[in-house]
Amino acid sequence: MTYLVQFKRLRRGVMEVIRTIPIEGADSTAALEDAKGLAGTRHWPARTGSLRVMDESGHTLLDWTVPGPPDHPVAALRARIHATRTGGKRSPAPSIAPRRSEVSRFYPAQGHHRFAVGQAISYAEDDKPEIWRGGYEIVGLDDPRREPQYTIRSADQSHDRVVREHELREDLGARVRGL
């Protein structure tokens, strides 16, 4: 006989059906055991919290709750393999900060500035990225949030600007001019 097995999860406090598959079985208990055997395969949806076995007309025959917290079977399998390899010891939590080798020279690690105070730089506004204006000097480093920021000054202007790092580049012409 063909039984319908529903994979369900609790989402925002409401039980929802993730997937329904037909399973052949002698009775509803055999169909439930076959459905449990799908754990860890691509047929087992992530975050499955319970199973429901129904007959062809849609009448519920069995409900089964997945023991423990609903977890992705692959993650559970990886945890078991890790525990076997390390003898049950837990590894330290991974660092959120990128490794130095992973940081590009254009976007250094958070909290690091690529340019220094007193350095001559060129500046291009976000709305005109193709026009670079030279003659600016960095007069201050601002506290970086997502991207480091700088206070820059030009001899032609009476005010300072606060700009982000991607709007700056080293003013190579300043070296030639002796600035």
Domain extent, residue 69, equals: 2-74
Residues 45 and 113 in one domain: no
Same domain, 63 and 11: yes
Q: Please count the structural domains in the chain.
A: 2
pLDDT, one tens digit per residue, over 79-130 is 676 677 766 665 554 444 444 444 444 444 455 777 888 888 888 877 676 7
In a domain, 51, yes or no: yes
- For residues 169 and 115, state if they share a domain: yes
In a domain, 132, yes or no: yes
Co-location of 55 and 119 in the same domain: no
Cβ atoms < 10 Å from Cβ of 54:
18
Q: Tell me the C-alpha distance between 50 and 64, whole Å.
A: 6
Taking the C-alpha atoms of residue 47 and residue 63, their distance in angstroms, rounded to an integer, is: 16
Regarding whether 69 and 21 lie in a shared domain, the answer is yes
In CATH, what number is assigned to the domain containing residue 119? Answer: 2.30.30.140
Q: What is the pTM of this model?
A: 0.38
Residues 141-178 pLDDT 10s = 876 666 788 888 887 877 888 888 888 888 766 555 55
SS3 84: helix
